[in-house]
Structure 1
Amino acid sequence: MAEAGYRVTGRVQGVGYRWWARSLAVRLGVTGTVRNLPDGSVAVHARGADDQLRQLQAHLAEGPPGARVASVDPLPFSSDGFSDGEFVIAR
């Protein structure tokens, strides 16, 4: 199992990005968390196979309708808020 963290910047809060990211992760079979950060960005921490994480990262750059993703940058991995076997929206 591989682990990765991403910081997504741009217009990603207030547009359903976290719900969209959770749906994407569930579809890909990835576990982890997504949360808003105080600076207006979104943090995603995920576990899965290398290919699953590559797909997740690529799709995170697209975002849901209404979002405008400026960048998806590496973020140190954190398991804070992880729930076994699922992908959750953390606070």
Structure 2
Amino acid sequence: MIRKHLYVMGRVQGVGFRFFAQRQAAAFHLSGYVQNLDNGMVELEIQGEPEDIEKFLLAVSRGTTWIQPERIWQEDMPVTPESGFYRKG
């Protein structure tokens, strides 16, 4: 089990990105959260098995017709006890 802290830049606010991230997290059995930031980026923390996180990152980086991530920063974090994935704000 691992945990990642992510910042996503691009066309990611006002286009359903948080809902999209929540659906992808559920599909890959990940926990954590997603929230919009005042600077136009989106912040996420995701936790789960490494291969599931990689699949999540691939899906998020591809986006959709409306969601167009341009850059994703990520760093490792300590694993924390939690369940579920939720949208903040």
TM-score normalised by L of structure 2: 0.88
Could you tell me whether the CA contact under 8 Å between 2:30 and 2:53 is conserved in 1? yes
Provide the residue aligned with 1:87 in structure 2. 85
Written as runs of structure 1 = structure 2, the 5 A alignment for 1:1-91 is 1-75=1-75, 77=77, 84-91=82-89
Q: Once the 2 structures are TM-superposed, how far is the Cα of residue 54 of structure 1 from its aligned partner?
A: 1.0
Greater alpha carbon shift after TM alignment, 48-57 vs 62-71: 62-71
CA RMSD across the alignment: 2.1
Identical residues among aligned pairs (%):
24
Question: What CA distance in whole angstroms lies between the structure 2 residues aligned with 1:34 and 1:83?
Answer: 17
Question: What CA distance in whole angstroms lies between the structure 1 residues aligned with 2:13 and 2:62?
Answer: 14
Note closer, same or farther for the CA distance 1:31–1:18 as it changes in structure 2 (3 Å cut).
Answer: same
Structure 1 runs (4+) greater than 2 angstroms displaced? 75-79
Q: By percentage of residues, which structure has more strand?
A: 2
Question: What CA distance in whole angstroms lies between the structure 2 residues aligned with 1:70 and 1:55?
Answer: 18
Could you tell me whether the CA contact under 8 Å between 1:16 and 1:64 is conserved in 2? no
AA at the equivalent of 1:23: R
TM-score normalised by L of structure 1: 0.86
